[in-house]
Structure 1
Amino acid sequence: MSNVIEKFGVKIVRNPPEEKLTELGVRKWTKWNCPPSKFGWTYGNKETCYILEGKVKISLYGKEEESVEIAAGDLVVFPKGLTCTWDVLVAVDKHYNCG
């Protein structure tokens, strides 16, 4: 059963059902991967991603205490305009779609 977490506009669906992933066409989205690292990012568009592997701590830019972790099996929606810091704890592999 999936559960939903929403924090500072980031919506996380933990372990969404395969039917939902198929409905969204997740497996056809662009793939992106990243080794452990830390960097700032601003979303120019809404982005939906599905984490295949890895673990990331996302925090509001300049506010490390405002954070949420995403990991393998999470379907995540980042709102347009969000400025955050990605702290990639375990190398990430994801599918993503902007718009």
Structure 2
Amino acid sequence: MATEKLGIKIEKNPPHSKLTELGVPQWPKWGCPPSKFPWTYTNKETCYLLEGKVKVFPDGSDEFVEIGAGDLVEFPKGMSCTWDVSAAVDKHYKFE
């Protein structure tokens, strides 16, 4: 079941059947080492983290959303945020 916090939807450990149905294994991959950087989503992004740990701080909020390996995450179009990567990220992603 997905939860939503600060506009970011997270489904922890979705079943393999759902990932296959969405086509996640065919999505392109992206990764980065531990780092901190700003990011703006020009389109909605859905991603599935294979590895890593990230705190996402949406602009204008003191709160953050923590995502990690096994999370299926949806970021809304137009969101600006800062990614604080504490463990190297490897993820599949899709922009709509």
Amino acid at match of 1:52: L
Q: CA deviation at 1:62?
A: 4.7
Give the 5 Å matches for 1:1-99.
3-63=1-61, 65-99=62-96
* Displaced runs of 4 or more, over 3 A: none
Task: Calculate percent identity across the aligned residue pairs.
Answer: 67
Three-state SS of the structure 2 residue aligned to 1:19 is helix
Aligned partner of residue 22 in structure 1, secondary structure:
helix
**Structure 1: runs of 5+ lacking an equivalent:** none
**TM norm structure 2:** 0.96
Q: As a proportion of its length, which structure holds more strand? A: 1
- Structure 2: gaps (5+ residues): none
Give the TM-score normalised by structure 1. Answer: 0.93
3-state SS of 2:63 partner: strand
**Structure 1 counterpart of 2:70, one-letter code:** G
